[in-house]
C-alpha cells in the first residue's frame, strides 16, 4: 500500500481539500462569493478585528457575543464604513455556553437579520483558569469545554441545518489553536488544549460529513497571543 493510500485512510478529509475552506486569506474575494457571515466571540480580540476587516471588505456581518454594548459599538463603527448607508453589521446576543434551545433560537434570529448565512466563523472561546490537571475542578473543565467545543458544535449544527437547501450551501470556519496540536503554551492549560484538540477532530468529521454537499468545514489555527 502506497504512502498516499495510507494517509488517505488515516486522514480521509485530505481528499476534501477542494471543498473545504481552510483559511480565509483574501477577504476581498470572500466579500464577493460569501458575503453573509455570522461570527461568534465578536466583541473583543481576534473576533473584533476580523469583523472590522470583513466590514472593510464589504461583507455583511452578524457580530455575536455576550456583551451587547460592545457589539453595538463595533457594528456602529463598521456601518460607518458604508458609503451607501446599507447596513453592513448587526449585533446578536449569543452566549455559546448556553443550552441547545437558547442557541438554536439565537441562530434563527441571526439568520433572519439578512435572510441567509453563507459563512459561520466559530471564534468564541475561553482559556479558563490556569491550573494543573491535579488542581483543576470539574466545573472549570466543563466550563471550558462547554464554551470552546460544545458551543461551537451546537452553533454549527443549527446554522448548517438552515443551510440544507442545496441552493444555499456555505462554509464553517472553526478558530482552533496550535495548543490543540502540540505543546505550545505554559503549564495550566490542560482543559483549553484538550478542548481545542476536540475542535480539530470535530472539524475533520464535519468536513467528511458535509464535504459531499455544498457545505464545508475547516480550521484556522491561531497561534499563542500576547496582550500588551
Three-state secondary structure readout of 155-172: HHHHHHHHCCCCCCCEEE
Architecture of the domain delimited by 21-221: 3-Layer(aba) Sandwich (3.40)
Cα gap 200→204, rounded to integer Å: 6
Cα gap 11→138, rounded to integer Å: 32
Residue 190 confidence (pLDDT): 85
pTM over 0.85, yes/no: no
Delimit the domains of the chain by residue range.
21-221
Residue 43 confidence (pLDDT): 95
Based on the residue annotation, tell me whether 192 is a catalytic residue of this protein. yes
Per-residue pLDDT of the chain (228 residues; tens, 9 = 90+): 454 543 343 343 344 333 333 333 444 444 445 479 999 999 999 999 999 999 998 899 999 999 999 999 999 999 998 888 889 999 999 999 999 999 999 999 999 999 999 999 999 998 888 888 899 999 999 999 999 999 999 999 999 999 876 666 788 999 887 765 665 556 668 888 888 889 989 988 888 888 755 555 444 434 333 332
Q: SS3 string of the chain?
A: CCHHHHHHHHCHHHHHCCCCCCCCCCHHHHHHHCCEEEEECCCCHHHHHHHHHHHHCCCEEEEEECCHHHHHHHHHHHHCCCCCCCCCEEEEECCCCCCHHHHHHHHHHHHHHHCCCCEEEECCCCCCCCECCCCCCHHHHHHHHHHHHHHHHHHHHHHHHHCCCCCCCEEEEEEEEHHHCCCCCCCCEHHHHHHHHHHHHHHHHHHHHHCCCCEEEEEEEECCCCCC
Residue 184 confidence (pLDDT): 54
Catalytic residue among 118, 158, 192, 220: 192
Residue 226 confidence (pLDDT): 33
Q: SS3 string of 70-109?
A: HHHHHHHHHHCCCCCCCCCEEEEECCCCCCHHHHHHHHHH
Residue 24 confidence (pLDDT): 39
Q: What is the CA radius of gyration of the chain?
A: 18
Amino acid at each position: 500500500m502506497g504512502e498516499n493510500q495510507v494517509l488517505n485512510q488515516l486522514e480521509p478529509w485530505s481528499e476534501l481539500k477542494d471543498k473545504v475552506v481552510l483559511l480565509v486569506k483574501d477577504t476581498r474575494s470572500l466579500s464577493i462569493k460569501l458575503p453573509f457571515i455570522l461570527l461568534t466571540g465578536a466583541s473583543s480580540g481576534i473576533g473584533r478585528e476580523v469583523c472590522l476587516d470583513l466590514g472593510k471588505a464589504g461583507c455583511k456581518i452578524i457580530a455575536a457575543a455576550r456583551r451587547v454594548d460592545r457589539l453595538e459599538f463595533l457594528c456602529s463603527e463598521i456601518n460607518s464604513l458604508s458609503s451607501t448607508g446599507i447596513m453592513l453589521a448587526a449585533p446578536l446576543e449569543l452566549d455559546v455556553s448556553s443550552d441547545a434551545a437558547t442557541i438554536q433560537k439565537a441562530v434563527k434570529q441571526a439568520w433572519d437579520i439578512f435572510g441567509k448565512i453563507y459563512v459561520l466563523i466559530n471564534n468564541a472561546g475561553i482559556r479558563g483558569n490556569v491550573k494543573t490537571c491535579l488542581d483543576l475542578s470539574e466545573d472549570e473543565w466543563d466550563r471550558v469545554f462547554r464554551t470552546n467545543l460544545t458551543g461551537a458544535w451546537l452553533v454549527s449544527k443549527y446554522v448548517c441545518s438552515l443551510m440544507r437547501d442545496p441552493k444555499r450551501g456555505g462554509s464553517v470556519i472553526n478558530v482552533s489553536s496550535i495548543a490543540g496540536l502540540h505543546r505550545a503554551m505554559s503549564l495550566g492549560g490542560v482543559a483549553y488544549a484538550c478542548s481545542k484538540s476536540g475542535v480539530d477532530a470535530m472539524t475533520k468529521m464535519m468536513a467528511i460529513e458535509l464535504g459531499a454537499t455544498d457545505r464545508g468545514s475547516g480550521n484556522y489555527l491561531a497561534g499563542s497571543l500576547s496582550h500588551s
